[in-house]
Amino acid sequence: MVERQTFEIAANAEAARKFAKLGATVGRFAPSEQLVAPGGHVRTISAGHYTVAGLSRQVRLGDFVAHRAANGVHLGEVVRVEPELAYVCPIEPGEPIGIGDTIIRKGAFRLAPDDSWCGRTISALAQPIDGLGPLIDGDKRRPIYANAPPSMRRARVEKGFLTGVRAIDIFSPLCLGQRLGIFAGSGVGKSTLLSMLARADSFDKVVIALVGERGREVREFIEDTLGDNLAKTVAVVATSDESPMLRKMAPLSAITIAEHFRDQGDNVLLIVDSVTRFALAIREVAVASGEPPVARGFPASVFTELPRLLERAGPGEEGTGSITAIISILVDGDNHNDPIADSTRGILDGHIVMDRSLAEEGRYPPVNPLASISRLARKAWTPEQEQLVSRLKALIHKYEETSDLRLIGGYRPGSDPDVDMAIKQVPIIYEVLKQTPGQPPSPDAFGDLAAALRNGAVPGANQPRR
Ligand SMILES: Nc1ncnc2c1ncn2[C@@H]1O[C@H](COP(=O)(O)OP(=O)(O)O)[C@@H](O)[C@H]1O
Ligand SMILES: [Mg+2]
């Protein structure tokens, strides 16, 4: 036994030397961890993962390992550790791996974000994918799995900001450091609303994680919609054809970059589109490594990773900046109670609900003002605005409540002054809320609303409303 162990250690040392050079070229790891590179050997291989003997005592969950094949070096992440076997999910699919191949421990995956990353589009492994040359690393390396700042030392969230999107600035205004979810079915308008929000000018930096998007949409999002913010934006992209490991890593890399900026005092906007695809990627990885599903097809790790990610956003410790997170959640078949929507809603400071029926009416962005909530709205509104919004919501409620009745001609004008008022004003309010990505952000949403209500029509609209 002793003999065998000595042999293994010797083999490891030999392998470590062989791989020492690769450390610098593949991925980004702390230098100390590149020197300590114990190795093991592939024991079993299956579609989603392989197991390694001889590494269990050295690796931690989330550590990276490397494997050299004929076509280059491949990385994998340790997703499960048993006394004799470590389970590894390959980062990229199609890795040619064989029984007995040597696997080297690389340690925690780290990023060294730098201000020069602004304006760049990178992969989840922080490799440039925009053809603009290599990335320059910053001074400090940060592991992509990190803890949120201690809650008692975090600054408070109390400073409102304007997004330029009227439907949000009026009904669910936001504060710096807030975490907001946008909930809607597919094709309802989440990505478009996110791209409009990404233009908000209250931020020093913007970090965008595009997870599981169609490749075509990525350039559209980055090039067409960001406008002036492009120069202060880092985009981390893992498209739908990339491996679940990369899709799982993209938001983690993005928040690690956001934390770098936050710690140097910046107010950062973090956008994740979509968190559902992140959760689905975690599920794919977990299921491949044998974790049983617990909640309607989702394994438990999904429900621990989601809050861990979102908790890292928010205000930093006193004296640093903040991370305002706006994330999209795809609600399966327009069912707003699916497990991912349910579990994220509870850990957010607000949710914007978008309805397919509004989109079908052409009321873009199809935000439902009655169902959307910003839990920090009170800090962003003035007391007068708060009162006004509560009156507007009552009017909209009246309008919607009586819409069937009015449709069949069952309402006689004059019989309820509130309904009469609603009939007159709500169409104007709805018109004010309409906004497309091609239109400039609104610097004063309440001003626009007041002007429209005063005129009894929306400025610029062709048809005066009856
Ligand atoms: N604010 C908007 N103004 C005009 N059209 C919009 C708006 N938001 C969404 N759309 C339309 O809806 C389509 C789907 O929107 P998208 O944001 O891609 O949805 P999702 O991300 O929810 O799947 C867009 O291609 C566009 O035609
Ligand atoms: Mg989308």
CB distance 250 to 209 below 8 Å: yes
- In terms of pLDDT, which residue wins out, 83 or 332? 83
The ligand 1 atom nearest the CA atom of 434: 1
Tokens found for residue 117: 């990353």
Tokens of 31: 């230098």
Query: Whose CA is closest to atom 9 on ligand 1?
Result: 189
pLDDT at 25 over 50: no
Q: Which two tokens stand for residue 327?
A: 């994330």
Cβ atoms of 317 and 149 closer than 8 Å:
yes
Give, for ligand 1, the residue of 163, 192, 436 to mutate: max count of ligand atoms closer than 8 Å to Cβ: 192
Q: Which has the closest alpha carbon to 193: 388, 359, 403, 316?
A: 359
**What tens digit of pLDDT does each residue of 239-280 get?**
888 889 999 999 999 999 999 999 999 999 999 998 999 999
Half-sphere exposure of 295 (CA within 13 A, CB side): 15
Distance, in Å, from the CA atom of 258 to the CA atom of 165, rounded to the nearest integer, reads 23
The reported pLDDT for the residue numbered 37 is 57
| Residue 331 confidence (pLDDT) | 87
Cross-strand pairs, 77? 64, 89
Report in angstroms the alpha-carbon separations of 444 from 341, 369, 389: 31, 18, 15
At 457 the pLDDT is 57
| Matching residue, tokens 């994220």 | 344
Which residues partner with 142 through β-bridges? 111
Q: Residue 122: helix, strand or coil by DSSP? A: strand
DSSP 127: -
- 94 pLDDT band, cuts 50/70/90, is confident
Closest CA to 22 of 6, 4, 34, 40: 34
> How remote is the CA of residue 51 from the centroid of ligand 1, in Å?
43
Listed residue (191, 146, 183, 157) closest to 346, CA to CA: 183
Tens-digit pLDDT profile for residues 361-390: 999 999 999 999 999 999 999 999 999 999
* 187 CB near ligand 1 (under 6 Å): yes
What's the CA gap between 252 and 170, in Å, rounded? 32
Q: Which atom of ligand 1 is nearest to the CA of 186?
A: 23
DSSP string covering 401-462, please? HTHHHHHTT---TTS-HHHHHHHHHHHHHHHHH---TTSPPPS-HHHHHHHHHHHTS-TT-S
- In tens, the pLDDT along 312-369 reads 999 999 889 999 999 999 987 767 668 888 889 889 999 999 999 999 999 999 999 9
How far is Cα 32 from Cα 38, in angstroms, rounded to an integer? Answer: 12
Which of 108-117, 286-295, 325-334 holds the top average pLDDT? 108-117
Is the Cβ atom of 179 under 6 angstroms away from ligand 1?
A: no
Any idea what the Cα angle at residue 213 is, between residues 260 and 219, rounded to 5°?
A: 75
Cα–Cα distance list, 119 to 222, 325, 454 (Å): 10, 19, 42
| Pocket lining: 438 vs ligand 1, CB cutoff 6 Å | no
Percent residues over pLDDT 70 in the chain? 89
Nearest CA to ligand 1 atom 24: 189
| Exposure on the CB side of residue 421, measured as CA atoms within 13 A | 11
Please return the burial class of 52, using the count of CB atoms within 10 Å of its CB with bins 0-12, 13-18 and 19+. buried
Instruction: Supply φ then ψ for residue 65, to 5 degrees.
Output: -130, 160
Over 70: is that where the pLDDT of 116 sits? yes
Atom number of ligand 1 nearest to Cα 273? 21
Q: 205: which strand partners?
A: 268
Contact status, residue 354 vs residue 367, Cβ threshold 8 Å: yes
Judged by average pLDDT, the poorest of 128-132, 209-213, 300-304, 337-341 is 337-341
Q: Where are the beta strands (DSSP E) in 132-204?
A: 142-143, 160-161, 174-175, 179-184
Nearest CA to ligand 1 atom 16: 189
> Does residue 30 surpass a pLDDT of 70?
no
Q: Rounded to the nearest whole angstrom, what is the distance from the C-alpha of residue 454 to the centroid of ligand 2? A: 36
- Output 366-369 pairs: Cβ under 8 A, ≥24 positions apart: 366/184, 366/188, 366/189, 367/167, 367/168, 367/171, 367/193, 367/433, 369/167, 369/170, 369/171, 369/172, 369/393, 369/396, 369/433
The answer on pLDDT for 70 being more than 90 is no
pLDDT band, residue 426 (cuts 50/70/90): very high
Q: Is 189 in the pocket of ligand 1 (CB under 6 A)?
A: yes
Q: Is the Cβ–Cβ distance between 97 and 88 less than 8 Å?
A: no
Specify whether the backbone of 132 is left (phi greater than 0), alpha (psi in -120 to 50) or beta.
alpha
Q: How far is the CA of 210 from the centre of ligand 2 (A)?
A: 9
**Contacts by 384-390 with C-beta closer than 8 Å and gap 24+?**
385/446, 388/446, 389/170, 389/171
Has residue 15 got a pLDDT over 90?
A: no
Phi, psi of 350 (to 5 degrees): 155, 155
Task: Pick the more confident residue, 9 or 369.
Answer: 369
- Calculate how far, in angstroms, residue 326's C-alpha sits from the geometric centre of ligand 2: 13
Ligand 1 atom index nearest CA of 330: 22
Instruction: Answer for the pair 43, 52: CB distance below 8 angstroms, yes or no.
Output: yes
Phi and psi angles of residue 285, each rounded to the nearest 5 degrees, phi first:
-65, -45
Cα–ligand 1 centroid distance for 187 (angstroms): 6
Q: How far apart are CA 249 and CA 243, in angstroms?
A: 10
331 lines ligand 1 (CB under 6 A): no
Mean pLDDT of 164-185: 95
Bond preceding residue 365 cis, omega within 30 of 0 = yes
Q: Say whether pLDDT at 200 is over 80.
A: yes
Residue where the block lists tokens 């928040």: 255
The closest of 199, 193, 181 to 371, measured between CA atoms, is 181
* CA of 339 relative to ligand 2 center, distance in Å: 19
- The answer to whether the Cα torsion of 156, 158, 161, 167 is positive or negative is positive
Please indicate whether residue 365, judged by its CB atom, sits closer than 6 Å to ligand 1: yes
pLDDT over 90 for what percent of the chain? Answer: 60
| Residue 221 reports pLDDT greater than 70 | yes
Distance 353 CA to ligand 2 centre (A): 14
Which has the higher per-residue pLDDT, 20 or 67?
Answer: 67
> Which residue has the least CA distance to atom 27 on ligand 1?
189
